[in-house]
Amino acid sequence: MSDTFERACAAADVPDEGVIPVEVGGVEVAVVKSEGQFFAVRDECSHAQIQLSEGDVGECEIECWLHGSRFDLRTGEPTSLPAYDPVPIYPVRLDGDDVLVDVKNPLNQKSL
């Protein structure tokens, strides 16, 4: 199996309990740091096609700023309305000072 991880950003670019937008392999991704862990989700709310990277982060969740839908960063599942559908989440790993993301192998296939 080939390595499909690509560099998304420097780990230092992502603030604690924060998020930055990046493009990885042609996919708009929100790279998030919450509770000391890095996560990657598609940078689009499943409810209203709004960039999640403009929302708030806390307790391993990201909130869409427009209507308040929240998503679990570990599963992509919505934890509050009005969203019903999950957002794609991607495998993340650290390589030295870099955050690598694999957009070719989402962790929650059903959300695609």
Residues 6+ apart with CB under 8 A from 76: 41, 86, 87, 88, 89, 107, 108, 111
Relative to beta strand 27-34, strand 56-58 is unpaired
Q: What pTM, to 2 d.p., does this model score?
A: 0.93
Q: How many domains does the chain have?
A: 1
The parent domain of residue 57 ranges over 6-101
Q: What is the pLDDT of residues 63-112, one digit of tens each?
A: 999 999 999 999 999 999 999 999 999 999 999 999 999 999 999 975 44
Distance CA 72, CA 58 (A): 10
Is residue 73 a part of any domain in this protein? yes
Is residue 110 a part of any domain in this protein? no
Is residue 46 a part of any domain in this protein? yes
CATH code of the domain in which 71 resides: 2.102.10.10
Which residue is listed with tokens 């509770």? Answer: 35
Is residue 109 a part of any domain in this protein? no
Is residue 74 a part of any domain in this protein? yes
**Does 13 have pLDDT greater than 60?**
yes
Is residue 112 a part of any domain in this protein? no
* Residue 110, both tokens: 């059903």
* Residue 52, both tokens: 């999640």
